[in-house]
């Protein structure tokens, strides 16, 4: 088979790495890809949101299956566009991707179908929003409705914070049209977990639960990022809790989408808060998580193409997932300053040395080649991922590999995985 992976981050590198092990694959393409992916696939310089360009590529290269990494092409309708041409593609249709594309749509769906989530109110007028927060107790959460690259959520400790958040989103429009409407939401206390499942719209198969680390600094301090590290399994999701999440969140959500005339296929990713009152949904994503996919792919024993193709063909009931019992842990190495401003073009050294360690894969998230030198090209640069028997060994191994990689101004969290020990 010829496979096309759309995207260019650590998530896509992990997907390509896993697909490269498939016995069914003849050739892998990735658009646009990155220098790490280029070691396993032919990278084609087409942007992930250039839907007609990607579709032409899929037709030209006789692609048998396309896997879409990021949310933007999904919410723009890449799956609709490919299916119109009879192309097989893993991911939800545009109207199903709205579960991530509009937080208000997702919240209303959850409320209608009794899926556990925090209380909320929707505003399209900033004056009314400002009026509402005067009466509210704190903390509370202000969210832009649309896509904002993970930055559209502001936790407000005081009324002043909330006023600023509303001004920023609705008046200054820092997230553009994504801020036309906001949600003001109850603040939920607990521990977060990422719960991903693959579905063909009928069968829902959970992937191994993960723990992400959103904040930029150790001890969950500092601003939120796309994710500074992830591990799987996460002890917070016990087998009983996993069943509860499947029965009360994942399966009812897929059924609800069907009832709403938005049948869902692809990955459904629930960002959960495990509260004293059980798991509650913070948000849904219509795609694989980044960096969660890196540890998941390292643990998955199935041929990924079998699994994803079965989902596309509506035959997921034939699949049984098998996972390695070992612990997998990804440490994101980022540029100094991320998630704010940061410098690019710093030469990266030591990846070969780190990759020589057993059970280590260094996934590229945002790198580039400059005169045949590998340099940093974004905020999250690498995802160093290790497997080990037990969490402590995985942590030690991952940080041993991290210590071999250097560039000027590198930043990474030193405490990825520590929650699993506690
Ligand atoms: P989201 O993009 O909605 O997942 O929000 C990003 C991050 O903001 C989450 O991973 C949480 O850390 C935090 N967050 C979002 N909603 C809430 C909430 N209702 N209560 C507490 N924290 C939240
Ligand atoms: N790691 C968070 C996300 O993929 O949205």
Q: Where are the domains of the chain?
A: 2-91, 119-186, 191-318, 327-421
Does the beta carbon of 226 lie inside 6 Å of ligand 2? yes
Name which residue sits closest to atom 3 of ligand 2, judged by CA.
289
Q: How far is the CA of 287 from the centre of ligand 2 (A)?
A: 9
Does the beta carbon of 192 lie inside 6 Å of ligand 1?
yes
Show the low-confidence residues of the chain (pLDDT under 50).
Answer: none
**Regarding the domain with residue range 119-186, which homologous superfamily does it belong to in the CATH classification?**
ATP-grasp fold, A domain (3.30.1490.20)
User: Closest ligand 2 atom to the C-alpha of 287?
Assistant: 4
We find that the CATH architecture of domain 2-91 is: 3-Layer(aba) Sandwich (3.40)
- For residue 422, what pLDDT is reported? 78
Are 191-318 and 327-421 equal in CATH topology?
no
> Would you say domain 327-421 falls under CATH 3.40.50.2300?
no
Give the pLDDT confidence score for residue 163 in this predicted structure: 93
Taking domain 191-318, whether its CATH number is 3.30.470.20 is answered by yes
- Residue 282 Cβ inside 6 Å of ligand 1? The answer reads yes
> pLDDT tens across 328-380, in order?
999 999 999 999 999 999 999 999 999 999 999 999 999 999 999 999 999 99
Structure confidence at residue 379 (pLDDT) = 96
CA-288 nearest atom, ligand 2: 4
**Nearest bound ligand to the CA of residue 148:** 1
Angle (deg, nearest 10), helices 251-259 and 94-101: 130
What pTM, to 2 d.p., does this model score? 0.96
Q: What is the pLDDT of residue 136?
A: 85
Kindly give the distance from the C-alpha atom of residue 273 to the centroid of ligand 1, in angstroms, as a whole number: 8
């Amino acid at each position: 088979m010829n496979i096309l992976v759309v995207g260019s981050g650590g998530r896509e590198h992990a997907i390509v790495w896993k697909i490269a092990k498939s016995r069914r694959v003849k050739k892998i393409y990735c658009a646009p890809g990155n220098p790490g992916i280029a070691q396993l696939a032919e990278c084609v310089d087409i942007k992930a949101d250039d839907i007609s360009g990607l579709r032409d590529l899929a037709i030209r290269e006789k692609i048998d299956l396309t896997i879409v990494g990021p949310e933007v092409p999904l919410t723009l309708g890449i799956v609709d566009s490919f299916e119109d041409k009879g192309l097989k593609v893993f991911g939800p249709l545009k109207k199903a991707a709205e579960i991530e594309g509009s937080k208000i749509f997702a919240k209303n769906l959850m409320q209608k179908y009794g899926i556990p989530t925090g209380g909320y109110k929707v505003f399209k007028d900033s004056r009314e929003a400002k009026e509402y927060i005067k009466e509210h107790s704190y903390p509370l959460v202000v969210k832009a409705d649309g896509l904002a690259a993970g930055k559209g959520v502001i936790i407000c400790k005081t009324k002043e914070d909330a006023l600023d958040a509303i001004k920023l989103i609705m008046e200054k429009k820092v997230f553009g049209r994504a801020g036309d409407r906001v949600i003001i939401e109850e603040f939920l206390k607990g521990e977060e977990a990422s719960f991903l499942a693959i579905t063909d719209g009928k069968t829902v198969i959970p992937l191994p639960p993960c723990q992400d680390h959103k904040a930029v600094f150790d001890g969950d301090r500092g601003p939120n990022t796309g994710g500074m590290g992830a591990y799987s399994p996460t002890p917070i999701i016990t087998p009983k809790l996993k069943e509860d999440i499947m029965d009360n969140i994942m399966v009812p959500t897929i059924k609800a989408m069907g009832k709403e005339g938005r049948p869902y296929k692809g990955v459904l990713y629930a960002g959960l808060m495990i509260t004293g009152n059980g798991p509650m949904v913070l948000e849904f994503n219509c795609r694989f998580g980044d960096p969660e996919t890196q540890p998941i792919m390292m643990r998955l024993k199935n041929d990924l193409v079998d699994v994803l193709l079965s989902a596309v063909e509506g035959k997921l009931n034939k699949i049984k997932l098998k996972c390695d019992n070992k612990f997998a842990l990804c440490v994101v190495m980022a540029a100094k300053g991320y998630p704010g401003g940061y410098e690019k073009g710093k030469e990266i050294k030591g990846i070969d040395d780190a990759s020589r360690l057993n059970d280590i894969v260094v996934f590229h998230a945002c790198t580039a080649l400059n005169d045949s030198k590998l340099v940093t090209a974004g905020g999250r640069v690498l995802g160093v991922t290790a497997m080990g028997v037990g969490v402590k060994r995985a942590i030690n191994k991952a940080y041993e590999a991290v210590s071999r990689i250097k560039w000027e101004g590198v930043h990474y969290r030193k405490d990825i995985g520590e929650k699993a020990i506690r």
